[in-house]
Chain A
Amino acid sequence: MMPLKVQSLAVSFPGLATPVLSIANLEIAAGSRVALTGGSGSGKSTLLNIIAGLERVGSGHVVWGGQDIARLSEGRRDRWRAENVGLVMQDFHLFAGLSALDNVLLPARLSRVSTPDLVKRAHELIETVGLKRTGQPVETMSRGEMQRVAIARALLRKPGVIIADEPTASLDVENGEAVGDLLLSVAAGAGSTLVVATHDQRMIERLDRRIVLRGGCIVGDDVVGKVPV
């Protein structure tokens, strides 16, 4: 479980007069489930990239559980992200030619942290997300199944925070709902902080807090109370 504190954050891209993201103050409590909404170009993805440690912070602080990731070098940020963040993306980003199990284990293996216990956990996670064949090549799976593999991958190292970028956008309604359920339940089960950037109204309605972005600024922040999983 990790709380987030963002202060005086400003992200600018060369050639643009105004910052694409400007957040004076944002706090997210540990274990909360937050929906990040807003139109295209509102700064959702940039904010997700910043809090996931994917993007360099120009100015400001991004503090996760006491660790200001804005001060970390790129290599250390990578390491911090690998240890603390589970990422789920719209396009799954699974690697063809590898099985579901190999895909789940790939980041850990590349970081040389794969252990027999972790392999066992990968098997369990694949079962948890509702898949039966761990050895099935991912390219032979349906889109819904692929997103389940991606969720299992995100959870492998028991991350304190799960960040999902439009996790249901490329799925049909039925699969989208199932994946939404899964995300909420696994985050709750692991006690992870969940931040989801989404346009999916059903998904938004099931999260405790809704932050609305426009033009890189927070224009709405509603806490709707604990929504049952």
Chain B
Amino acid sequence: MIRFIIADLRRLWLGCAVVVLLVALATALGVAVTLQERSLRLGSARAADKFDLVIGASGSETQLILSSIFLQPAPLPLVDGELLSKLAADPRVAWAAPVGFGDSFAGYPIVGTTTTLVTSTTPGFGEGRLFAAEGEAVLGASVTLPVGAVVKPMHGTAETGGPTHTDIAYKVVGKLKPTGTPWDRAILVPIQAVWHVHGLGDEPEHEDGGTEPAATVASATHDEDHHHGGIDPDAPIVEDFGADTPGLPAILVKPKSIADAYRLRQAYRGNGTVAVFPGEVLTGLYATLGDAKMVLSAVAAGSQALVAAALVLVTVIHVGQRRRQIGALRAFGAPRVAVFLIVWLELLLLVALGIGLGFVCGLLAAQFGAHLFTAKSGVILPVGFTRDDVRLALFLLGFAAVLSAVPALLAYRQSPAQALRS
């Protein structure tokens, strides 16, 4: 029987190839949507995993998380720098680290932060060491610069453009191991350097910026005139933040316990600040993502239904055209069950091939999409099949088995004498 089926499929190879491709495309669409959405959830959750609590000025919680954890370039309102020293002294806090951003180099965001944050949130160095002086920088694993390179910060991003701080340069002293987060694409420098570049904070060598009101590069009200600071590359890093700390776009906080996390979140909501768990913001985003996925899944399901309907139509017509062949098989002694199985298996084989190919194509498409996303955002999206996908594959195969039974039943019920007469 298998030999007959293979001979039959080989004879009709072009039509079979079209059927397989149609099924593969419809399946791949659904699979790619599912895999992509799931990997986005997982990848973004993993990226936020190291950050327990983020505190910023009152405003959009989503933007606070997107900017501070996903390093999306966007202006944020600032919180008073004094808050940092207050948090550092809070017994419920294990550590609190400021982040300052707004500059970039070669498309990579430059993030000002502290040694505590780097050592606490990264898996260590692949090469070199942590910055120890104001003019030193550390690279995320995905930054394609060598240790020893010179980084000249440019205000804003490559897309938005902006003046380059030509007189300022960081020396790269280390490269971190991959974290799978957007921080892999970041160039990390001491926060004090970011302040000094922008003429903020305690800047002994600065000519005229020290007296300006506090504002950072991330401020919505930021003004190009503020770019006139400089750094002392050899100055030691001071991470003892006092009352004169400039305004900050975000402070990343590691509470000592889960209970402390909730208490801190409660304590710093209101009075001009907002404290959020990245997870709660992501949950809100996932709901939106889920809605988008539902729409896309509905489109995919619609296309699958159309392909299924087209397949039934094509095969019913095909069985009609093969009446004589089927009738002859019966006439020469093939049992009805054998005729049913031939038609059923032929179609099921094609659809199963299409489903298999569709899963592979869907996986490749999702991986390609994830690759593009990672290249742009640094967030590693874990694309892969799970038990749910096995269930989906089994469901689709089951559906195909039922669908294939329609033309097979027609063939089964066909009278051989009538078929031969036609």
Contacts and interface: CB of A to CB of B under 8 A. Distances in A.
A95 B338 contact: no
Contacts of B324: 91, 93
A21 B331 CA distance: 20
B332 A97 contact: no
Contacts of A19: none
Contact of B333 (A55, A74, A82): A82
Contacts of A89: 328, 331, 420
Interface string B127-153: 000000000000000000000000000
B338 A55 contact: no
A52 B334 contact: no
Contacts of A82: 332-335
A78 B420 CA distance: 15
Interface in A30-84: 45, 49, 52, 54-56, 74-75, 78-79, 81-83
B416 A107 contact: no
A137 B330 CA distance: 22
A98 B332 contact: no
A102 interface: yes
Given A49-B417, A54-B416, A54-B417, A93 B332 contact: yes
- Which applies to chain B's interface (DSSP): helix, strand, loop or mixed? helix
A87 interface: yes
- Give the interface residue-count category, chain A: 20 to 34
B335 A52 contact: no
A95 B336 contact: no
Contact of A78 (B3, B10, B335, B421): B335
A78 B7 contact: no
Interface in A107-142: 107-111
B13 to A, nearest CB: 10
A87 B332 contact: yes
B167 interface: no
Nearest to B11: A97
A74 B331 CA distance: 12
Contact of B7 (A85, A93, A97): A97
B409 interface: no
A45 B421 contact: yes
Contacts of A49: 417, 420
B72 interface: no
A85 B325 CA distance: 18
A93 B419 CA distance: 12
Nearest to B333: A82
Given A55-B415, A93-B328, A97-B8, A75 B336 contact: yes
A110 B10 contact: no
A91 to B, nearest CB: 8
B332 A107 contact: yes
A153 interface: yes
B4 A95 contact: yes
A87 B11 contact: no
A29 interface: no
Given A45-B421, A95-B7, A98-B4, A52 B329 contact: no
Contact of B325 (A56, A81, A93, A98): A93
Contact of B334 (A54, A97, A110): A110
A87 B332 CA distance: 7
B325 A78 contact: no
B333 A98 contact: no
A78 B333 contact: yes
B14 interface: no
Interface string A90-108: 0101011110001000111
B4 to A, nearest CB: 6
B336 A106 contact: no
A98 B6 CA distance: 10
Interface of A: 45, 49, 52, 54-56, 74-75, 78-79, 81-83, 85, 87, 89, 91, 93, 95-98, 102, 106-111, 153, 157
Given A78-B330, A96-B11, 14 more contacts: A49-B420, A54-B417, A78-B334, A87-B331, A93-B324, A93-B332, A97-B8, A102-B4, A107-B332, A110-B333, A110-B335, A110-B338, A153-B332, A157-B333
